Structure formats: structure tokens, C-alpha cells
Chains A and B, each alone.
Chain A
Amino acid sequence: MTAALNVRDYACGRVRRRLDSYLAGELSVDLSHEILEHLDRCPECRAEVKARENLRAAVRRIAAAMPEPRDGFEAEVRARIARTPPRGTVSVLLLAASVLVAAGVASWLVVGRDGRQSPETTASAPSLQAATADFAVVNHEICALRHTWPETAPPEEVLASGLDPKLERVLREAIPRLPGYVPVTAHECAPAGETVFHIVFRRVGTAGPGGLVSVLSTRPGSKAASGPALAGLVSGGRRGLAVVGTSAPDGRLLLLVSGGNEDETMALGRAVLPALATAFAGS
């Protein structure tokens, strides 16, 4: 009798371990048949199936009774999305503006201000080329300053979602490099006609665009990076914004734009740009 009970208990245990998958329709045909056969001759397991079905049904009823979103909530989210630029896109207007800017950047890089052939023939400039500063500032103004970004950092995984793994690694390298700043977005965009990897940081405690800092990386071999490699950190400025740039070993141009003064911006650039150059080279 004891032996018979043990055999039945073993069978019941084996079936009960699979009951939830059976109810979810996730078992193979053979296993489902095995369970059905057992249920035919085991009233206790039939009762357990019934109880678990009741429980699942109750969970579904509770979920179905969850309140619908309040009136107006969808419209609020739609409005927020309408103001948010998607990554990897470019509007027709921006495209047109970008073509003009890109043409300007290219001409700055090929021909100097006074029309002389400059970048290839002159020694490294003491300050950032005006065209390069322009390129950085256009990216900052069109992308960072014209859109609404959160006041606090999104979760790191959310921030990095959708990024290429290499860019994700670079992002993770950049995040801790600017004490007092939090990253609010990291994406690829092309407001100046060339795709750049754009990380926007916000100075902690600020809400407006004045606290935003852009960290930009071009692709290797981009037009903006086609001038002579920058030796170390080089600073410049345009339209009230300060820019610091450097060249990465793999040919990228790395730029940082801020609304702070030249010294503050240089300190930020020193904190983050060399580390990013190393991260890109090591990826």
C-alpha cells in the first residue's frame, strides 16, 4: 500500500511540476497526453488543475479591471513625442539646412577664410578652425538646444537602448567623466549634414538649455574631420558658445560644446574627450 502511494505521489509530483506549462499550452503533445491520462485517474490533481485555472482566470479578471488611462493622457504623450526627435532621422527642413552647412564646413576645411589653401599647408592651428567650431555649434544648437530633454538622467540602460554596442561602450565611458553633469540623451543625429554620435549632458540642478553640454563624435574620415589632426585639445568658440576639440587615433573628430566660458569648457573637454578617444581606439 505504501509502495503504491509512493508511486502515485511520484506521478502526481511529476504532473504538478508541469501543470502550469500544460495550462499555458507550452507542453509537447506527448507530455500533454501523459498529463491528461494522469488527470483521468487522479481526482486530487484534477482539483489542483481546476484551482490553478481559477487562479489564472482571477489574475486575468484583475488585469482586465485595471483602469483605462485617464482622458487626455494619450494626447499629452503624443504632444511630448511630437516635440522629440527620433534617432537616425532627418527632417526635410533640417536636410536642406544640413546640406548648406555641410557645404560651408567643407569649404572652410578646403579653403581658409581668406581663400588660401590652408589646412593641408599650414601647421596645426593654435585654436580650433572656425569651420570646425561652426560644425560643433550647429549640432549643439539644432539638436541639443531646440529640443526638450529631461531634467534628470534616464536609467543607463534606457539611455543606451538602441545604440550600437560600440557606441554604448563609449557612452558608458563618458558618463562618469563629467562630475556635476548627468547624461540626458545619447543618439546619432545629423543636423549639420554628417552623422555624429551625440551625447547631451545637463548640469545638475538646471532645467533650461543653458545647462546643456554636447559631446559629439564624427565618424572616422568624415568631412568635418578631414583637416589636419588636432594636436591635443584645441579650443574655439562661435555665437557665444565655447568649443573644445581633439582628434581620435582612428580619425574621428571629438568635440564638446558648452555655454560656459573657455576655461570651464576646456576643463570639461579635458575630462571627457581623451577618454573617449581611447575608448574608440580600443573598441
Chain B
Amino acid sequence: MSLVRFRPAVPADRLREDFDREAWPHFREICRSARGLARSRGEAEDLAQEVFLQAWKSFARFERGTNCRAWLYRILWNVHHQKLRKKVPVPLGAEGEARLAETLAAEPPTPTEIKDGEVAAALDAVSPEHRQILLLSDVEEFTYKEIAGILRVPIGTVMSRLSRARAALREKVRGTSAAAGILAGGRAAQGETP
């Protein structure tokens, strides 16, 4: 029979001091990350507020000495993922994933001249899951191991998801660049792929 783990109560005042020291310094960063994930400022504020409320309610269980920033991002992921599940059941779809995986081996070159506005449009066009893992890796600069902890998936899954996310972003960038007429010429390393 499994035992229920009851932790000793912590005085609320001490918990608030710890929360002020450990969690609040990351508030603005979490807000900005939430803004990168949400479609509107209001949605981002709801997301950031929910993250901090959940963090506070669960803070007695936060293991002191571990990475509070990564812990907050794990909550951000959970809350965001739950919201996504309500709105978008399957962001890419198994068929889409398979199609993308096939194109990975024969990917055309990435455009060399890219404008920030085109990248922003491409980021907006990839699935929310892809956008989130790209932000975790390329912007927040979490290691693969830390991302695995945040998303609670094996490190191999992080690598494959990131690979798909980056390929999806490059595909969107190529699309927007081509639309702008600036796609760089040149032979793809894997041959003249369509």
C-alpha cells in the first residue's frame, strides 16, 4: 500500500519571503514569454497571472535549491498546454508531422537575408507547441536537459521536437521570403529538391 506524503506545514510568512526571493525576480521574463505564446496582451496577462498563482499555491512543494526559473517555465508550459488543448486539439497532426519529417532529409537552404518582420510572421505561423519549444531553446537558452525537465519528456523527444520546430520555422521563413521575392538561390546540399 502506498503511503500518502504529508509535508510539514511551513509558516506562511516564511513562505512569502522565499517566494519574493526565488520567484518574483522572474516575473517580467515570464510575462514576456507569455506574450510570445499568447495571441493578445489580455491572453498573455491571464497566462502570466495563472502561472504565478499556481506557483504560489504550490510553492510549499518547490524544492529549495533547485532551479526556480525552470520550475516557473514548467508551470507556464502546463498552463499554456492546457489552454491549447481546449482550443486546438492537434496542432500539426500525425500526417503533417510525417510529411515534415520526410522533408527534413532534403531541406532547401535557409534564406540568407531575412528581415525580422518575416521571422515574426513565420513564428506566428508555426504551431504554438513549436513556438514554445523554440523560445525555450533559442531565446531562454535552456539546455536540452532543462527543457526535458520543463516539458517532462525524454531528452530524445526534446531533440526531435526541436528539430521539427526549427524545420517548420525555416519552412515558414522560406515561404514568407519567397513571397517577398528574396529567396537566395543556390543548390541545396541534398540536391535540387522541390
Given A20-B162, A21-B159, A44-B189, the answer on whether A84 and B11 have CB atoms closer than 8 Å is no
Tell me if B110 is interfacial: C-beta within 8 Å of chain A: yes
Given known pairs A20-B166, A67-B35, the reply for A13 and B10 (CB within 8 Å) is: no
Tally A residues with Cβ within 8 Å of B. 64
Find chain A residues with CB under 8 A from B32 CB: 63, 66-69
Q: Binding site of A, secondary structure by majority: helix, strand, loop or mixed?
A: helix
Give per-residue flags for B57-89: 1 if the beta carbon is below 8 A from chain A beta carbons, else 0.
Answer: 111110000000000000100110111011000
Report whether B11 and A164 are in contact in the complex, using a CB–CB cutoff of 8 Å: no
> Distance (Å) between the CB of A29 and the closest chain B CB?
16
Q: A48-B110, A54-B114, A81-B56 are in contact. Are A157 and B169 (CB under 8 A)?
A: no
The answer to whether B112 touches A164, judged by C-beta atoms less than 8 angstroms apart, is no
Q: How far is the CA of A215 from the CA of B153 in the complex (A)?
A: 33
- Interface range for B: 35 or more
A89 contact from B10, B78, B112, B166, Cβ within 8 A: B10
Contact A59 B114 (CB under 8 A): no
Instruction: Specify the chain A residue showing the minimal Cβ separation from B32.
Output: A66
Cross-interface CB contact of B112 among A54, A68, A167, cutoff 8 Å: A54
* A residues less than 8 Å from B173 (CB atoms): 55
A-B contact count (CB 8 A): 183
User: Which A residues from 192 to 240 make CB contacts under 8 A with B?
Assistant: 195, 219
**A116 an interface residue at 8 Å Cβ cutoff?**
no
> Contacts of A157 on B, CB cut-off 8 Å?
78, 81-82
Contacts of A62 in B (CB 8 A): 116, 119-120, 123
Contact of B15 with A by CB under 8 A: yes
Residue-by-residue, is B3-27 near A (CB-CB < 8 Å gives 1, otherwise 0)? 0111101111101000100000001
- Residues of B with C-beta under 8 A to A188: 6
- Determine the distance from Cα of A124 to Cα of B77 in the docked complex, in whole angstroms: 50
Q: Check B186–A47 contact: CB distance below 8 A.
A: yes
The answer to the question of A86 belonging to the interface, with a C-beta cut-off of 8 Å to chain B, is yes
A61 to B82, CA, bound (A): 28
Which B residues are in CB contact (< 8 Å) with A45? 189
User: A171 contacts the other chain (Cβ, under 8 Å)?
Assistant: no
Inter-subunit contact A90/B112 (CB<8 Å)? no
- Given that A77-B52, A86-B12 are known contacts, is A68 also in contact with B78, CB under 8 Å in the complex? no
A55 engages B109 (CB within 8 Å) = no
A270 CB–B CB distance under 8 Å: no
Q: Which residues of the partner chain B approach A70 to less than 8 Å between Cβ atoms?
A: 41, 45
Contact (Cβ within 8 A) A162 B61: yes
Interface residues in B138-185 (C-beta closer than 8 Å to A): 138-139, 143-144, 159, 162-163, 166, 169-170, 173, 184
Known A-B contacts A55-B119, A90-B9; A20 and B163 likewise in contact (beta carbons under 8 Å): yes
Interface residues of B in 97-149 (CB under 8 A from A): 104-105, 107, 109-112, 114, 116, 119-120, 123, 134-135, 137-139, 143-144
Interface residues in chain A, defined as those with a beta carbon under 8 Å from any beta carbon in chain B: 9, 12-13, 16-17, 20-21, 24, 26, 44-45, 47-48, 50-52, 54-56, 58-64, 66-70, 73-74, 76-77, 80-81, 84-92, 154-158, 161-162, 164-167, 185, 187-188, 190, 195, 219, 283
Contacts A58-B114, A76-B49, A88-B9 supplied; 9 other A-B pairs, CB < 8 Å:
A47-B186, A51-B111, A55-B170, A84-B53, A88-B10, A89-B60, A155-B83, A185-B57, A195-B9
Please give me the 8 A-B residue pairs with the lowest Cβ-Cβ distance, nearest first. Answer: A155-B82, A162-B58, A88-B60, A12-B189, A51-B110, A69-B31, A58-B119, A63-B139
Which residue numbers of B lie inside 8 Å of A, CB to CB? 2, 4-7, 9-13, 15, 19, 27-28, 31-33, 35-36, 41, 45, 48-50, 52-54, 56-61, 75, 78-79, 81-83, 85-86, 104-105, 107, 109-112, 114, 116, 119-120, 123, 134-135, 137-139, 143-144, 159, 162-163, 166, 169-170, 173, 184, 186-187, 189-191
